[in-house]
Structure 1
Amino acid sequence: MKICRFDKGRFGVVVDGGVKDVTFAFQSLPKATYPYPVHDVMIAALPGLMTAIAEAANGTEVLPFDQVTLDLPVANPGKMIAAPVNYQKHLEEVREQADLHHNNTAHMKQIKEIGLFLKAGSSLVGPNVPVQITKTDRRNDHEIELAVVIGKAGKNISAAAALDYVAGYTIGIDMTVRGSEDRSFRKSLDTFSILGPWLVTADEIPDPSNIDFELTVNGATRQKANTRDLVLSVPELIEYASSFYTLYPGDVIFTGTPEGVGEVKVGDRMHAAIDGIGDMTIDIVAG
């Protein structure tokens, strides 16, 4: 099932040609009070809502895509975990290009040597928000990634059991300002973490290790790869991340980007597509 949020707080099921409004099925979501939970309550409740969502979609009219505005598929992830240089060819291009590594040796190591990093929640936007470029004196790059949404809490999860903890998948774009500083610092600018266009539940992607994806800028292909080329697979990333952090419902893991990262400038238009999920178009504007 493809589940979206749209028009400032409504929930939908994505079908051919548009969206079916199933907001009614989500009325049973718990009403949080302060102190608010550190996880996404919709994602936590999702397994128990699937029957009600399917029933709500029956007979509901289809709203064409051009009549709705898609929002973030996961509104409140407790944390966003990202995997640097998790494609071998991307590691090679980082090592070869000075404007990517800036003579910082930490940018040129294998993923298990440098570990994962976190992105600020304030950088998160959905497919309805353009990327804002504020550091015009620097290179600003696109990085398309398969994004994994965790469905239930877990710590020290084995790779063998890892996919049981996945709620679903979405497209992630990890924008980056190039420089010598720490990755988290340069990847957490406002609008620099994009998720969309919707959440595809895990049952529709039983094997995330063989998925084609592509990113174009102004119609020209920049990145095109398959998740089989990941250094650490999705289960291995979940195992690795959960050995350091407790994972909670709604946490997002950006799995890494392949070779072909490149600069975008104000006025450019990115188009990102992942097989089995969908596609979205993001404009680049001045911040």
Structure 2
Amino acid sequence: MSQGAGAMRTLIAACGGDPARVTPEASASAAIGEVTLLPPVTDPSKIVAAPVNYFDHKAEMNESAHIDSLGVFLKAPSSLIGQGARIRLPYTDRRFDQEGELALVIGRTARDVAAADADAYIFGYTCLLDITMRGGEDRSTRKSFDTFTPMGPALVTRDEIGDLADLRLTCSVNGVLRQDADIKDLIWGVPALIEYVSSVMTLFPGDVISTGTPAGVGQIFDGDRIGVSITRIGALAVEVGAEDAVACPTKGAGRGPVPPAELTPVRSAK
């Protein structure tokens, strides 16, 4: 464990990545409404994300390839925010979309892990939003702005989740349902993702892998409220703001895939 690791990474390392070894400590309690929830892991060494990992999302984006040709990409850990926080849209002249996803947190150092052994390397699961600027810039740039990775509201340990095939993900904007998918429909499921990612890079306790988004991504605007809910994990809710937004300095607008309007309705910016 590196010097100055955050509380959750320290806890995960101390229990060897085994949730059964976590012993609750007596401490002062507070009502949930009296505290600010940070991301379950505030300082992962990396956030690894899966592009085009549902066939319906591949179709809506008119993509020619999916994850088995694209591999994975990285999001900056500095983009993390927690429950109730505010996404800040940086530009006035670019499109930004919501993408609801299931994320997992690694429990112990993983390198070249076989899919059959992957579960033992998972500490827990949480909800995640992969906020995205549309355009031709690299994925890691378009998805790594500060505040572009809401995560939470909590980290649910793997022993409490059960069969991932039973999980359902929904994502709503201003109370209107946009995304509704079964986790079993992932092209590469969680074991396959861990096998592949750990063959490329060493995963450390507290690292996050986000599994990809289903169809229904759509444009978000200043003042919107976004909610992601996953069975047995909980509901993540955040707001959207555009204070201090400026014109974009890069020229990727109009490039790259864009969801069709009939599947992801848009409205004029406020």
- Superposed pair shares fold, TM > 0.5: yes
Change (3 A) 1:274 1:52: closer
- Secondary structure of the residue that 1:170 maps to in structure 2? strand
Kept in 1, the 8 Å contact 2:151–2:236? The answer is no
Residue number in structure 2 paired with 1:56: 26
Q: How does 1:63-78 map to 2 (within 5 A)?
A: 63-78=30-45
Residue number in structure 2 paired with 1:260: 216
Displacement over 6 Å in runs of 4+ = none
Q: What CA distance in whole angstroms lies between the structure 2 residues aligned with 1:48 and 1:83?
A: 25
Kept in 1, the 8 Å contact 2:18–2:107? The answer is no
Please tell me whether residue 222 in structure 1 is matched to residue 191 in structure 2. no
Q: What CA distance in whole angstroms lies between the structure 2 residues aligned with 1:48 and 1:231?
A: 27
Letter in 2 for 1:86: N
CA deviations over 1:174-221 (Å, ceiling 9, x no partner): 000000111111000110011110100110013223311111111100
Q: How does 1:137-148 map to 2 (within 5 A)?
A: 137-148=93-104
Give 1:51 shift: 5.8
Q: How does 1:1-287 map to 2 (within 5 A)?
A: 33=3, 40-46=9-15, 47=17, 53-54=23-24, 56=26, 63-95=30-62, 108-287=64-243
CA deviations over 1:110-169 (Å, ceiling 9, x no partner): 211111000011211112421001122111000000001000001110000001100000
Give 1:271 shift: 1.3
Q: Work out the number of aligned pairs and report it.
A: 241
Kept in 1, the 8 Å contact 2:106–2:208? The answer is yes
Q: What CA distance in whole angstroms lies between the structure 2 residues aligned with 1:274 and 1:171?
A: 7
Q: What CA distance in whole angstroms lies between the structure 1 residues aligned with 2:101 and 2:66?
A: 18
Kept in 2, the 8 Å contact 1:209–1:234? The answer is no
* TM-score calculated relative to the size of structure 2: 0.83
- Secondary structure of the residue that 1:85 maps to in structure 2? coil
5+ long unaligned stretches in structure 2? 244-270
Q: CA RMSD in A?
A: 2.2
- Secondary structure of the residue that 2:222 maps to in structure 1? coil
Larger strand fraction of residues: 1
Give 1:52 shift: 6.3
- Secondary structure of the residue that 2:166 maps to in structure 1? coil
Kept in 1, the 8 Å contact 2:56–2:214? The answer is yes
Letter in 1 for 2:23: I
